[in-house]
């Protein structure tokens, strides 16, 4: 799984997703399928305007997309934006909406945005659930505002007022392939609104496949994570910088930037386990469970009260 910024070459894949909803549902009030060239123009317009626009790609195919755009072009609405998200018809219920929105919201919080709007045609319970997860509240219910498939359709507007930006958290270890990735995944699963990043002092360049496997068994998908170098985050401001292995803890004092809280929670490195496959697997599970417990306690006792 890859999360990346959209390109014009993605127009066909996006059309394949969007036109299903145009032709078969009332999720969108468009009634005529959008051509690839028209979709390219729409994408170009959003990119030229500087709006974040992400796609999730699985096995080389677009599985979903989301983007930010103006809710109303009048000047007084300049701090109010609308969010839009679509998933492939067979991609629902896999957590892709949450993953896409986590990437989108990291960009949203970098900008001077006061309110977000999401328009949801009734009934689209999966969309309601997703937006509730990110703190949206129902702001309106407009009856019989659209006519599609020979009946009147209701639309709700859901709104998020950005009163406070969630904590920005950096989790460090040496390789950013296993322990920091697990901690990243768990912390994000406790609260999808948190701005969680992870990095390594000597980044390996890939996420440990065994870490991905045992996290998937625990219900957390980190297959889209990347192994990043600490260098790209030096100089940023952080609410928390948390090291999870001895090597990173030794080099972390040189980490520059405005760090409000620096913590160390150490764990054994399961990638160093040797023995039978069963034993190695048990070590990954043990460390995974220790990380989950420790970071849930951290979230509950220190981070959760930010709202």
- Residue numbers annotated as active site: 173, 245, 252
CA distance 200 to 213: 20
CA distance 104 to 160: 14
CA distance 259 to 134: 25
CA distance 60 to 4: 12
Q: Which residues contact 86 (CB under 8 A, 6 or more apart)?
A: 14, 17, 18, 21, 27, 64, 65, 66
Q: What angle do CA 75, 80, 86 make, to 5 degrees?
A: 125
CA distance 211 to 183: 11
Pairing between β-strand 61-70 and β-strand 53-58 as defined by DSSP bridges: antiparallel
CA dihedral 88, 62, 188, 172 (to 10 degrees): 170
The total of other beta-carbon atoms located within 10 Å of residue 293's CB is: 11
């Amino acid at each position: 799984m890859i999360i990346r910024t959209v390109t014009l070459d993605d127009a066909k894949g996006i059309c394949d997703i969007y036109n299903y909803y145009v032709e078969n549902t009332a999720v969108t009030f468009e009634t005529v399928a959008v051509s690839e060239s028209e979709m390219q123009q729409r994408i170009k317009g959003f990119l030229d305007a500087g709006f974040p626009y992400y796609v999730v790609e699985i096995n080389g195919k677009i599985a979903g997309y989301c983007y930010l755009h103006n809710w109303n072009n009048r000047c007084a609405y300049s701090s109010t934006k609308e969010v839009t998200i679509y998933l492939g018809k067979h991609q629902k219920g896999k957590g892709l909406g949450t993953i896409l929105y986590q990437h989108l919201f990291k960009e949203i919080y970098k900008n001077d945005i006061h309110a977000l709007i999401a328009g949801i045609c009734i009934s689209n319970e999966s969309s309601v659930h997703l937006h509730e997860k990110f703190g949206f509240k129902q702001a309106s219910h407009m009856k019989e505002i659209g006519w599609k498939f020979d009946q009147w359709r209701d639309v709700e507007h859901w709104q998020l007022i950005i009163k406070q930006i969630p904590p920005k958290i950096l989790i460090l270890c040496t390789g950013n392939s296993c322990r920091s990735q697990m901690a990243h995944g768990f912390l994000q699963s406790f609260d999808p609104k948190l701005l969680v990043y992870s990095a390594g002092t000597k980044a390996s360049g890939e996420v440990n496949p065994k870490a991905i496997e045992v996290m998937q068994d625990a219900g957390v998908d980190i297959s889209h994570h990347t192994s990043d170098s600490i260098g790209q985050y030096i100089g940023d401001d952080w609410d928390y910088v948390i090291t999870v292995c001895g090597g990173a803890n030794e080099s972390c004092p040189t980490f520059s930037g405005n760090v409000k809280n620096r913590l160390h929670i150490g764990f054994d490195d399961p990638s160093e386990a040797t023995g039978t496959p069963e034993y190695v697997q048990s070590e990954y599970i043990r460390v995974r469970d220790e990380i989950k417990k420790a970071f849930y306690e951290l979230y509950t006792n220190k981070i959760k009260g930010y709202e």
